[in-house]
């Protein structure tokens, strides 16, 4: 009979602890819910903002540099084409001079 009473006491104490724990959890959830409902939300702090302006400026600078390199390559191509044209003209002139020199003897 004493063993049965000890078992019953332990069983009731465990049930009481479980009940108290569930009650504590429920109260904590209700408290948190009330805190959330009472809380006024604001915009993000400056620490959480993304520096889009700096990124846009960086991207624009890269595009300007890319455009500048394209212009340099275009200028270089035009200069090379001009030198080729001058070479053709000078070769033609050299040939004419040689022809005149051969004609004069």
What are the tens digits of pLDDT across the range 83-93? 999 999 999 99
The pTM is what? 0.43
Say if residue 46's pLDDT is above 70. no
pLDDT score of 47? 63
DSSP labels for the chain? -HHHHHHHHHHHHHHHHHHHHHHHHHHHHHHHHHHHHHPPP-PPPGGG---HHHHHHHHHHHHHHHHHHHHHHHHHHHHHHHHHHHHHHHHHHHHHHHHHHHHH-
Span 64-81, pLDDT tens digits: 999 999 999 999 999 999
pLDDT score of 98? 93
């Amino acid at each position: 009979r004493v063993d049965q009473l000890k078992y019953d006491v332990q069983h009731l104490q465990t049930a009481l602890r479980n009940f108290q724990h569930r009650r504590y959890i429920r109260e904590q959830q209700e408290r948190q819910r009330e805190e959330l409902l009472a809380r006024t939300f604001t915009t993000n702090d400056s620490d959480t903002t993304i520096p889009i302006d700096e990124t846009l400026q960086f991207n624009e600078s890269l595009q300007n540099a890319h455009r500048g390199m394209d212009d340099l390559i275009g200028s270089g191509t035009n200069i090379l084409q001009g030198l080729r044209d001058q070479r053709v003209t000078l070769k033609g002139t050299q040939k004419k001079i040689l022809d005149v020199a051969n004609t004069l003897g």
